[in-house]
């Protein structure tokens, strides 16, 4: 009764107004699963390939009609009749149908849509929410890293670093964490306006003022935490995502906003200096994806005291993560389902991290939809941390609201701690 009977797809719009793919999987018992696929702007070189049409007459070349056709054709043919409850077999069939190393032939976006929609259909057939279907013992709610200032590829300002986030480490429940984050967010908005900055938001819902240095952004954020009545570093901490690959040029880090070029050792010194001046507890992509010597230097310098999250350097790929573990760089991995292309591969990466003692941060992309799958995955895996943007823009708040509902569903069984190492 849980055999896959029909698979269909369509083009919908993501949070940037670009097309993306949405997939429906219907089972023989009429259970339906639906999944929409996110899209990144700052992407790792080793990510599974998102298939775009390239036709300049439609969506400026960004259409996904070919990916939609691939779902209706070869991918549907590959999974029709398979048991939706056997996720590994479904994902293996999808990967085999594509046949390429990076899913470029049929498109990682097409493949991921079918993979996630299948899991959601199986959950619907079982009469369970996705997090409970994937893990009957799921109870842990993640600490949110709430985006508060955007820069880099996510905003039209001179700021080189891509994301400045806050982690409400004093919170005792997930809802409490969202409340603290919202309060600081609105305090920051008032302080930016008072200082003459615009309060427009970037792709992920954080403010995008015309800051030129990380120090400037961090001063405003630290002051906003204090002005809200919280102790910086005790009640609310700061997390960074420099997305260093985006400004790594010819073996050095070119800070366009500052007009400064730093060699890798100088860049590590700069990050260490920021940690001394501000209550920063986590740095994502502090070094470029190709600067492995820099990654080792950063980890040797800061890894014992600071969470160092690998995104572009790992691309949610278990084999790449294993190399990083063996190579001694980073101590955490960012998990983005569309970087690798199937649910099974995503869960394999989480398992690889866990066995090595690396922390896991479940993550959205800059081009998002109202789909809340990652909220359920964060709870199902018990990863303890989620990064899903700011407390503005419904494509971001949808995930927070989903987690609030999950916390309520779990009632007295839910677990939450304001601790990155939990």
d(CA 71, CA 23): 8
| Helix 292-302, helix 318-327: angle, nearest 10 | 60
Q: Is 365 among the annotated ligand-binding positions?
A: yes
Would you state the structure tokens that stand for residue 215, as one six-digit string? 């120090």
Alpha carbon of 243 to those of 2, 120, 183: distances in Å? 42, 32, 26
Q: Is 120 among the annotated ligand-binding positions?
A: no
- What are residue 15's phi and psi, to 5 degrees? -70, -15
Strands (E), 332-397: 332-335, 359-363, 385-387
Nearest residue to 297 via CA among 278, 272, 323: 272
How many angstroms separate the most distant Cα atoms in the chain?
63
- Residue 419: partners with Cβ closer than 8 Å, 6 or more residues away: 143, 169, 384
Instruction: Give the DSSP letter string of 130-199.
Output: HHHHH-TT--BPPEEEEEEEE-GGGSSSS--S-EEEEE-TT-SSHHHHHHHHHHHHHHHHHHHHHTT---
Alpha carbon of 325 to those of 29, 133, 312, 352: distances in Å? 44, 30, 15, 9
Q: Is 241 among the annotated ligand-binding positions?
A: yes
62, 103, 120, 336: the catalytic one is 336
Active-site residue flag, 62? no
50, 85, 183, 204: the catalytic one is 204
Q: Is the dihedral of CA 54, 57, 62, 64 positive or negative?
A: negative
Q: Is 189 among the annotated ligand-binding positions?
A: no
Nearest residue to 380 via CA among 126, 22, 128: 128
Alpha carbon of 49 to those of 43, 77, 92, 104, 356: distances in Å? 10, 21, 17, 5, 27
In a 3-state reduction of DSSP, which class is residue 372? Answer: coil
Active-site residue flag, 266? no
Q: Is 162 among the annotated ligand-binding positions?
A: yes
Annotated catalytic residues are 204, 336
Binding-site residues, in ranges, read 162, 241, 284, 311, 336, 365-366, 387
Please state the residue numbers annotated as binding site for (2R)-2-phosphoglycerate.
Answer: 162, 336, 365-366, 387
């Amino acid at each position: 009764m849980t055999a896959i009977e029909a698979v269909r797809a369509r083009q919908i719009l993501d949070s940037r107004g670009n097309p993306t793919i949405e997939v429906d999987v219907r089972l023989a018992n009429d259970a339906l699963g639906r999944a929409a696929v996110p899209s990144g702007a700052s992407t790792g070189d080793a990510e599974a390939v998102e298939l775009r049409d390239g036709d300049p007459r439609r969506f400026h070349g960004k259409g996904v009609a070919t990916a939609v056709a691939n779902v209706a054709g070869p991918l549907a043919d590959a999974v029709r009749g398979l048991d939706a409850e056997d996720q590994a077999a479904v994902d293996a069939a999808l990967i085999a149908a594509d046949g390429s190393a990076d899913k470029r032939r049929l498109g990682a976006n097409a493949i991921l849509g079918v993979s996630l929609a299948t899991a959601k259909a199986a959950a619907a057939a079982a009469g369970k929410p996705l997090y409970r279907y994937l893990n009957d013992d799921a109870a842990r709610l993640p600490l949110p890293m709430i985006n508060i200032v955007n820069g880099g590829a996510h905003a039209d300002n001179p700021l080189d670093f891509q994301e400045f986030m806050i982690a409400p480490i004093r919170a005792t429940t997930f809802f409490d964490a969202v409340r603290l984050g919202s309060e600081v967010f609105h305090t920051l908005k008032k302080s930016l306006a008072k200082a003459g900055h615009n309060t427009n938001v970037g792709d992920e819902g954080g403010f995008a003022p015309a800051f030129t240095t990380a120090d400037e952004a961090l001063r405003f954020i630290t002051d906003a935490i204090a002005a809200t009545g919280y102790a910086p570093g005790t009640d609310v901490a700061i997390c960074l995502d420099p997305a260093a690959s985006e400004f790594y040029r010819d073996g050095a880090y070119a800070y366009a906003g500052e007009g400064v070029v730093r060699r890798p050792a100088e860049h590590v010194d700069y990050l260490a200096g920021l940690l001394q001046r501000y209550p920063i507890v986590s740095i994502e992509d502090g070094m470029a994806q190709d600067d492995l010597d820099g990654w080792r230097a950063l980890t040797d310098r800061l890894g014992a005291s600071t969470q160092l999250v690998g995104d572009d350097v790992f691309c949610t790929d278990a084999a790449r993560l294993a190399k990083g573990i063996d190579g001694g760089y980073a101590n955490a991995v960012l998990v983005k389902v569309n970087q690798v292309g199937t649910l099974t591969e995503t869960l394999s990466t989480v398992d690889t991290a866990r066995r090595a003692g690396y922390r896991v941060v479940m993550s959205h992309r800059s081009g998002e939809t109202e789909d809340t799958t990652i909220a359920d995955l964060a709870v199902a895996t018990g990863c303890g941390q989620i990064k899903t943007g700011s407390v503005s823009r419904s494509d971001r708040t949808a995930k927070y609201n989903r987690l609030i509902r999950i916390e309520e569903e779990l009632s007295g069984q839910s677990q939450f701690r304001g601790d990155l190492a939990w």
